[in-house]
Amino acid sequence: MGSAVAVVTDSSAYLPPRLVERHGLTIVPLQIAIGGETRDEGDVTTEQAAQALKEWRPVTTSRPSPERFAHAFKAAAGAGAPAVVSVHLSAAISGTLEAARLAAEDAPVPVHVVDSGTIGLGLGFAALSAAEAALDGASPEDVVAAAERRAELSRSLFYVHTLEHLRRGGRIGAAATLLGSALMVKPLLGIQNGAITPVEKVRTTSRALARLADLAVAEAADREVDLGVQHLAAASRAEALAGELRDRIPHVRDLHIGEVGPVIGAHVGPGMLGVVVAPRL
């Protein structure tokens, strides 16, 4: 990495491996436990987690240890990085950010820890912007600013088939207001101030997915944007949604379609479909 600022993020960014490699990102994995066995997120397939959720087997998640971050920061310093910018999922949703901050205290180079205030590709796009700035020779402060600005501009919206997984995982946040009517509505959710919040209550799945597309189109407007379409065990719906968005949004730069990993999947459940609209800086 030479004299460039190193950029670290976590596995909940769900970036395609080719982008991780191209941008020189370091990924620190979150942890997932299925039936009491804890492993790195990358060592458990989404299919395994989805199947466990469908069978209502215990699936829990946890942050990386500070030692995992310490190792990443030390490796970046050893490769010649003068500083590290570590960009992570919302502190309101996970303790990952706190683990990075603890490790930063004893790192051999300055480490700037950034709360993206979001999850999934919302975090991923922020990390990519940080890495692009770093590769262009930006200062640590400017790399931080690039990540924070991209996260601030981006909007994450998603549909879940049931709120039960969010409730069980303790990540439901303000969307708890929907629980009383959960059997009668299909909720559209978003991320606001780092937490999961309700956006709309819709009566049917087909209408919810139509509104998800409408909201994403309105969010993009005439801006040049990157799009992320993410799902859990809903590949055909994700492909259809991505095609519709490409047709309806005039200035799409990059569009990424992918399945979320088991850590986020454990909290949203099978059938989740989400969109991230990330305007270009």
Predicted confidence (pLDDT) per residue in 191-203, tens digit: 988 888 888 888 8
pLDDT classification of 176: cutoffs 50, 70, 90: very low
Least trusted range by pLDDT, from 97-106, 107-116, 160-169: 160-169
SS3 per-residue string spanning 178-221: HHHHCCCCEEEEEEECCEEEEEEEECCHHHHHHHHHHHHHHHHC
Cβ(169)–Cβ(61) under 8 Å? Answer: yes
Which residue type is seen at 193? Answer: N
% the chain with pLDDT above 90? 69
Please write the tens of the pLDDT for every residue from 15-31.
999 999 999 999 999 99
pTM of the model: 0.90
In the chain, ranges of CATH 3.40.50.10170 domains: 6-29+64-152
In the chain, ranges of CATH 3.30.1180.10 domains: 155-279
CATH class of 6-29+64-152: alpha beta
Query: Phi and psi of 47, rounded to 5°?
Result: -65, -40
Query: For the stretch 54-84, what's the b/e string if a residue is b when 16 or more beta carbons lie within 10 angstroms of its beta carbon?
Result: eeeeebbbebbebebbbebbbebbeeebbbb
Mean pLDDT of the chain: 90
pLDDT classification of 1: cutoffs 50, 70, 90: very low
Topology given in CATH for the domain delimited by 155-279: Hypothetical Protein Tm841; Chain: A;domain 3 (3.30.1180)
